[in-house]
């Protein structure tokens, strides 16, 4: 189940990035008085009242036409691109915050943005419109501006909500309305294993999907970025229900083309969140790249299991050492995921494609493994006896007791005398000892420390 998505939309310089930073609790978006500072999308997680959701900060929608001076003086060459990506963000969201400036009152650009938002809404069967749009009047630091916010009724969006993103005034009330308006989650009967196919553009994701399901269920094209949305394909494999999620390729920010492809990144992130196992496709012709490592980082951040598929293997000139060379290089680059299995395939010719799903199911099985408490404590006790943790300031780390508190992903709670004494290298050592007894192939494991008073 994916988290709801909230998009911040409005003309330039109304405080979208300031509100974004407040909602996510970090200074992730650049804040500057120059209109048009935010050009590309920024996505981060937020939480309110125990409900988690993603927030998208977009560039300002500049309505200037013809030879008029654009509002986005710092991004004049990107106006159409920024507008396009903001529109796609609206389509992808579960709620839209339409930000305006309480200091300037309603402006012609605000009216045009309001028209764009109204046209973007879809009418539901019950007569309501989706996504809901919240008219946020920012920069209302004093009572005079809060009372003047009623002027924004003329935009025809709904009740104005006066806030101050900089000072936090009424932001809590705004969040109460947002989370209350999220669609109710329904328990689905779908118990299939979710497998997402991710990778940079033109790595062969859609070709692999077609080979796996045995039909042309996805558009296959040599043009990078053909797939624009995440596509679910459900079928059974040897009696096991599966859902394959094909996603648009993830590009480096500077290489993302204008328009719809920008927000294919958001869709791909959603697909990773929904997955049990992610198939990370690497182009054998170009080798593992920095962007492949970024995508692997996204998967690890979501604590998903992974299979690395080196595609287009048929196009590589090989000798008896080539596969070993590629394996060593890829695992060296993926040193933060040393547990991932590699499979060299060709989606075009079908070479080793028949091994992909069995390997993914093996990884999923490992993901659900549970270690009996007695065996887990024996593993950690023997590890500590063989290699005690180095002391810090004369204090020694002591492991008292451990238990597996969950699977999916495997999570272990370890009681210690002081969590601060656990160095990351010793945590990795304990993880390796656990993996010696239980492989957990392709699956990250979490070790959570709790001090014992």
262 to 15, 60, 99: CA distances (angstroms) = 22, 15, 22
**What is the assigned CATH class of domain 193-367?**
alpha beta
430 to 8, 99, 448: CA distances (angstroms) = 43, 49, 12
- Per the structure block, which two tokens stand in for 166? 């900089």
Mean pLDDT rounded to a whole number for the chain: 81
Q: Pick 82 or 340 by higher pLDDT.
A: 340
pLDDT tens, 275-310?
A: 999 999 999 998 898 888 888 888 998 899 999 999
- Residue 70 scores a pLDDT above 60: no
- Residue 30 scores a pLDDT above 90: no
Cβ atoms of residues 281 and 360 within 8 Å: no
Per-residue pLDDT, averaged over 56-75, amounts to: 54
Within 13 Å and on the Cβ side, how many CA atoms surround 352?
13
Cβ atoms within 10 Å of 90's Cβ, excluding its own: 23
Q: Which of 208-217, 230-239, 368-377 has the highest mean pLDDT?
A: 368-377
Nearby residues of 8 by Cβ (< 8 Å), 6 or more positions away = 16, 19, 20, 55, 56, 57, 58, 97, 99
Q: Of all residues in the chain, what percent carry a pLDDT higher than 90?
A: 40
Residues 16, 29: Cα–Cα separation, whole Å = 9
286 to 202, 290, 312: CA distances (angstroms) = 11, 11, 10
| Predicted pLDDT of residue 190 | 67
Q: Can 5-180 and 373-451 be said to share one CATH topology? A: no
pLDDT-based confidence at residue 134 (cuts at 50, 70, 90): very high
**Domain 373-451 homologous superfamily, CATH:** K homology (KH) domain (3.30.300.20)
* SS3 labels along the chain: CCCCEEEEEECCCCCHHHHHHHHHCCCCCCCCCCCCCCCCCEEEEEEECCEEEEEEECCCCCCCCCCCCCCCHHHHHHHHHHHHHHHHHHHHCCEEEEEEECCCCCCHHHHHHHHHHHHHCEECCCCCEECCEEEEEECCCCHHHHHHHHHHHHHCCCCCEECECCCCECHHHHHHHHHHCCCCCCCCCCCCEEEEEECCCCCCHHHHHHHHHCCCCCCCCCCCCCCCCCEEEEEEECCEEEEEEECCCCCCHHHCCCHHHHHHHHHHHHHHHHCCEEEEEEECCCCCCHHHHHHHHHHHHCCCEEEEEEECHHHCCCCCCHHHHHHHHHHHHCCCCCCCCEEECECCCCECHHHHHHHHHHHHHHHCCCCCHHHHHHHHHHHHHHCCCCCECCECCCEEEEEEEECCCCEEEEEECCHHHCCHHHHHHHHHHHHHHCCCCCCCCEEEEEECC
Lowest average pLDDT, out of 22-31, 302-311, 335-344, goes to 22-31
- Per the structure block, which two tokens stand in for 182? 């999220």
Backbone angles phi, psi at 55, to 5 degrees: -115, 135
Residues 363, 317: Cα–Cα separation, whole Å = 30
Per-residue pLDDT, averaged over 413-433, amounts to: 91
Q: Name the burial class of residue 243, with classes exposed (0-12), middle (13-18) and buried (19+) by CB atoms within 10 angstroms of its CB.
A: middle
pLDDT tens, 141-161?
A: 999 999 999 999 999 988 999
CATH number for the domain whose boundaries are 5-180: 3.40.50.300
Domain ranges of the chain: 5-180, 193-367, 373-451
Per-residue pLDDT, averaged over 394-418, amounts to: 91
Lowest average pLDDT, out of 18-27, 39-48, 301-310, 321-330, goes to 39-48
Lowest average pLDDT, out of 32-36, 126-130, 349-353, 369-373, goes to 32-36
Q: Which of 11-20, 43-52, 322-331 has the highest mean pLDDT?
A: 322-331
Per-residue pLDDT, averaged over 349-363, amounts to: 94
- Residue 453 scores a pLDDT above 80: no
């Amino acid at each position: 189940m994916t988290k709801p998505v909230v998009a911040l939309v409005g003309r330039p310089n109304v405080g979208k990035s300031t509100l974004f930073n407040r909602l996510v609790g970090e200074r992730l978006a650049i804040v500057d008085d120059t209109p048009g500072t935010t050009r590309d999308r920024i996505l981060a997680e937020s939480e309110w009242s125990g409900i988690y959701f993603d927030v998208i900060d977009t560039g300002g929608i500049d309505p200037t036409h013809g030879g008029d001076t654009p509002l986005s003086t710092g991004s004049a060459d990107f106006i159409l691109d920024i507008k396009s990506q903001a529109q796609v963000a609206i389509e992808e969201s579960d709620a839209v915050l339409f930000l305006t400036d309480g200091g300037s009152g309603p402006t012609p650009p605000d009216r045009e943005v309001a028209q764009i938002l109204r046209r973007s809404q879809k009418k539901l069967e019950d007569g309501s419109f989706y996504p809901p749009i919240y008219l946020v009047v920012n920069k209302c630091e004093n009572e005079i501006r809060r009372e003047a916010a009623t002027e924004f009724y003329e935009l025809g969006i709904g009740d104005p909500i006066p806030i101050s993103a900089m000072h936090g005034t009424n932001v809590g009330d705004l969040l109460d309305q947002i989370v209350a308006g999220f669609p109710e989650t329904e328990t689905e009967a779908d118990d299939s294993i979710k497998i997402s196919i991710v990778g940079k553009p033109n790595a062969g994701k859609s070709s692999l999907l077609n080979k796996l399901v045995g039909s042309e269920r996805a558009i296959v094209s040599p043009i990078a970025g053909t797939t624009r949305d995440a596509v679910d394909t459900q079928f059974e494999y040897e009696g096991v229900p599966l859902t394959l999620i094909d996603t648009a390729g993830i590009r480096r920010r500077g290489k993302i083309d204008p328009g719809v492809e920008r927000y294919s990144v958001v869709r791909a992130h959603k697909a990773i969140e929904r997955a049990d196992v992610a198939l990370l496709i690497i182009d054998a012709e170009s080798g593992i790249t920095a962007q492949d490592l970024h995508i692997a980082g996204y998967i690890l951040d979501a604590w998903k299991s992974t299979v690395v598929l080196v595609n287009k293997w048929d196009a590589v000139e090989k000798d008896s050492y080539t596969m070993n060379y590629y394996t060593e290089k890829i695992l060296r680059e993926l040193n933060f995921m040393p547990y991932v299995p590699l499979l060299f395939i060709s989606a075009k010719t079908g070479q080793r494609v028949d091994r992909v799903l069995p390997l993914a199911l093996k990884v999923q099985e490992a993901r659900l493994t549970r270690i009996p408490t007695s065996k887990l404590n024996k593993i950690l006790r023997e590890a500590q006896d063989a290699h005690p943790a180095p002391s810090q300031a004369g204090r020694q780390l002591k492991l008292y007791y451990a238990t597996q508190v969950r699977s999916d992903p495997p999570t272990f709670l370890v009681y210690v005398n002081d969590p601060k004494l656990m160095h990351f290298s010793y945590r990795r050592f304990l993880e390796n000892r656990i993996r010696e007894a239980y492989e957990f192939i392709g699956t990250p494991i979490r070790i959570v420390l709790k001090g014992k008073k």
